[in-house]
Structure 1
Amino acid sequence: MTFERLHFVASAVELAQSSMERLIARHGQSPVDEADVIVALGGDGLMLSTLHATQHLPAPVYGMNRGTVGFLMNEYEERGLKARLATAEPAVLNPLRMRATTAEGGLVEALAINEVSILRSGPQAAKLRILVDGKERMAELVADGALIATPAGSTAYNYSAHGPILPIGADILALTPMSAFRPRRWRGALLPKAASVTFEVREPGKRPVNAVADSTEVRDAVRVEVESRPDIAHTILFDPGHGLEERLIREQFA
């Protein structure tokens, strides 16, 4: 496939901005709603924000690392960009939907490509009741929090919390506790992608929590529902041999 109309976005750091200026000088800048591909220059944070901002557009996103980790990005190279795009391999990601009810009765919905996290916001550990498809699976988890991660997000916050790395094509989600106090030895669970997970916050006045879907934070959440949205698809492009599947396997042997 050929990509003629390119739209560039970049993070605010000087390195990314100067790189974007040079690439626009080489390839021009098409309007984002007319572009064949969106080229994101920065780190994983920029990639996530770009995917969220352009999910209504058909153009895939190709990232080049001008940030730090860059797990979702390709190596930066100014020359031969269109040739790289022509041979790039797509990876399709389905986000999670978070529906968070607040202590005041508000309802906030947000999408997460990496994970939805439930985090204590006070000095005491959170107490969470966990239901899967409406059935109670854990009456009380006492921990700093818990998260639901997609395969794409399994190497991010989930991995730092000692959760499993999931193959990119796996139809499963990782439910991972953070610093679990009780049950002390509980390491989490693997759930079908179609599962609906609900967290009910116990003693929210004494043990307040925040719910976070990627970068969208909801304070003083008392109930958080999480489910996959297979009807929403984000397409990321990777250089051949360096796609998400290869990166996820390689990460496990690092």
Structure 2
Amino acid sequence: MTLVSSLAGRQRHSRAPRTSSRVPLMIGGAIGAASVAAVAYLLWPTWHVQPVGDPDRTPVTIGDTLFNVPTKAFRVKYQRRSGPQERVDLAFLYPSLAPPEHVAHKTAEQIAEFQPIDRIFVSIAAHHDALAPDTRLRTIYPRYLAPVAPQTADGLTLRSFVEGSPYANEDLFTADQPELSARCTRDRQTPGMCLSEIRVDGADLTFRFPRQWLTQWREVAHAIAQLAAQMHVRG
């Protein structure tokens, strides 16, 4: 009997330290859980951030040239991404030059058939060492210009292309101060449209706008220069 009592006492004593060692662990766990809950409660408002839409501008690289493009100006949905691209197509309201809230996914000619155009269309594409726009103006266009005296009005010079040439039914407008060159279709069933090109490092920028805007051609020239300067990231 004495032996049995002794063994039972030893077992009780051996269990006591184990039980007592678990108590601090349980207390510590409870304190840790309470601390995490308190921190979570304090930080909870910061976890409910409102959904963020597209950033105001999207950086794209075209022809190894960096452009910072207003996100809402993209006319083609799949082009609305940052990184290298071969070409992007954009639209800007005129004369504000702000990107439109809703861009119609139509060509400039299609829009001209239905409503007056209130925007300037811009395409940026890698040129891959193709003939520069200013070189084309000096060496290619003169071959197809009609042999008549140019017409100059308010500093803007008009020369027509000959019939049967690659630029038939088009006219060439040029000016020096400010600098502008534009090849424009003539008004037919739809209003005439103009195309003006400039080169920026590895990319060519093509601007399209209604021919009738040339009645205020200086404002158009300034708009083209302003858009190019705003999007091109120098350096």
- TM category (shorter chain) comes to under 0.3
Q: Return the index of the structure with the highest Cα Rg.
A: 2
Structure 2 length as normaliser, TM-score? 0.21
Question: When you count helix as a share of all residues, which structure comes out higher?
Answer: 2
So what's the TM-score if we normalise by structure 1? 0.20
Higher relative contact order (CA 8 A, sep 6+): 1
More strand by share: 1
